[in-house]
A = this chain, B = another copy of it.
């Protein structure tokens, strides 16, 4: 592979001159510039990505920050982002913040230092300096902040929907599992559920859960049925937690949905393979990822845009952890 030294020798100029031109770091005479360009072409010299991006005035590298890749919702989002980026000849690098703001900041720095031209971030801190100070386009995904570019689904409506559907199917002693306090979409759906239940005049219990991990989900499921053994309807904070609740209910010998109805959130690929298969509120994860990628590309290319925040609809996916509505409607 040709080096910068080979290019300099071939063009009959110094390495410093080639470097100056590639890095746009000072005056280079037009004739010299042409000689260097010819040498680069003839030797098929590829400057490293950073040099090349300065040279071409545009890199095609973007960064995607995910909060937790062990939650199957996020790999689906990521696939959407990746497919759309690839179709448009952009490349992406991933970071996994693990819901940790220090790790998040480090990943964003890594992205910037590697000259990404844009960032898609699923962050709990869209208002932090990390993003405010970025001089490249940012799209928030699964999150929103003021009127900044973002793609998210209607969590509050999803929560309301879950509550209405479980009530319509006859649950009267409902437990709502409140997701992690620092994860906004979880709080949105929680508030939506509480709103709808409060409006319907049905009393309900709340169990606090502080993460979405598979391991801890089992603990909360046990806590739920210990504290509230007569629960006949569970609105879970996401499908992982719902999976654990279903497992625990069956372990306790309860019939689902006859004794307890369960509604999840997200519709991750696994949910349809559970037995009974999980009724849930679907977020269109893959499409949200694609939409975020399209939005970021438009921002990078300075296209006129009428819509910078995209709210995507959630849908009720009726499966077998809820009863049929005709019996209770």
Q: Which residues of B contact A243 (CB under 8 A)?
A: 270, 273
Residue A4 lies at the interface, judged by CB distance under 8 Å to chain B: yes
Pick from B17, B25, B91, B113: contact of A110, CB under 8 Å = B91
Residue of B nearest to A68 (CB): B75
Q: Which residues of B contact A247 (CB under 8 A)?
A: 273-275, 277
Q: Which residues of B contact A107 (CB under 8 A)?
A: 91
Contact A82 B106 (CB under 8 A): no
Q: Which residues of B contact A251 (CB under 8 A)?
A: 275
User: Do A95 and B93 contact each other (CB < 8 Å), given the known contacts A23-B19, A26-B16?
Assistant: yes
Contact A82 B96 (CB under 8 A): yes
Contact B69 A93 (CB under 8 A): no
Main secondary structure of the interface of A (DSSP, over half): helix
User: Do A15 and B19 contact each other (CB < 8 Å), given the known contacts A69-B75, A95-B93?
Assistant: no
Q: Which residues of B contact A103 (CB under 8 A)?
A: 86
Contact A215 B269 (CB under 8 A): yes
Q: Which residues of B contact A93 (CB under 8 A)?
A: 93-95, 110, 114
CA distance A214 to B267 in the complex (A): 12
Q: Which residues of B contact A139 (CB under 8 A)?
A: none
List residues of A (242-258) whose CB comes within 8 Å of B's CBs. 243-244, 246-247, 250-251
Residue A217 lies at the interface, judged by CB distance under 8 Å to chain B: yes
CA distance A274 to B277 in the complex (A): 11
Q: Mark A34-68, 1 if CB is under 8 A from B, else 0.
A: 00000000000000111110000000010000000
Pick from B14, B49, B94, B244: contact of A114, CB under 8 Å = B49
Q: Which residues of B contact A50 (CB under 8 A)?
A: 48-51, 113-114
Residue A79 lies at the interface, judged by CB distance under 8 Å to chain B: yes
Contact B76 A70 (CB under 8 A): yes
Q: Which residues of B contact A15 (CB under 8 A)?
A: 20, 25-26
Query: Measured between C-beta atoms, what is the minimum distance from A201 to chain B in Å?
Result: 34
Query: Measured between C-beta atoms, what is the minimum distance from A23 to chain B in Å?
Result: 6
Given contacts A16-B16, A50-B50, A218-B273, 5 further A-B contacts (CB under 8 A): A16-B25, A16-B26, A93-B95, A217-B273, A247-B277
